[in-house]
Amino acid sequence: MRFFTLRGLRKRAALAAAFGTFAASLIAATPLATSAAAASTMQQVTNFGSNPGNLAMYEYAPANLSTNAPLVVALHGCTQSASDYHAHSGWQKFADQWGFAVVYPQTSTANNSLSCFNWFDSTKATRGRGEAASVKQMVDTAAEQYGSDRNRVFVTGLSAGGGLTADLLADYPDVFAGGAVDSGPPAHCATTQAAASGCQHNDQDLTPKQWGDKVRNAYPGYTGPWPRVAIWQGASDITVAPVNGTELRDQWTDVWGIGQTPSSTRNLAGNTTESIYNDTSGKAAVALYSIAGMQHGLAVNPGSGTDQCGSTGIFYLNYICSSYYTAKFWGLDTADSSGGSLPAPTGLAVAGTTETSAKLSWNAASGAAAYHVYRNGSKVASVPGSAYTDTGLSPGTSYRYTVAAVDSSDAVGALSSPVTATTSGSASRCYTDNNYKHVQAGRAHPSGGYTYANGTNQYMGLYSIAVVHTVKETSLGQFVVADSGC
Residues designated catalytic: 159
Cα-trace Rg, the chain: 22
Q: Where does 230-321 have alpha helices with state H?
A: 243-256
CA atoms within 13 A on the CB side of 5: 20
Q: CB 438: neighbour CB atoms within 10 A?
A: 28
The Cα–Cα gap between 135 and 113 comes to: 20
Q: Which of 94, 75, 343, 305 is nearest to 184 (CA)?
A: 75
The Cα–Cα gap between 210 and 207 comes to: 5
The Cα–Cα gap between 310 and 316 comes to: 8
| Packing angle, helices 208-216 and 160-171, rounded to 10 | 70
Q: Are 392 and 329 in contact (CB under 8 A)?
A: no
Q: Are 275 and 246 in contact (CB under 8 A)?
A: no
C-alpha distance across the termini of the chain, in Å? 41
Burial class from Cβ neighbours inside 10 Å (0-12, 13-18, 19+) for residue 298 reads buried
The Cα–Cα gap between 225 and 27 comes to: 39
The Cα–Cα gap between 111 and 114 comes to: 9
The Cα–Cα gap between 31 and 16 comes to: 22
484: left (phi over 0), alpha (psi -120 to 50) or beta: alpha
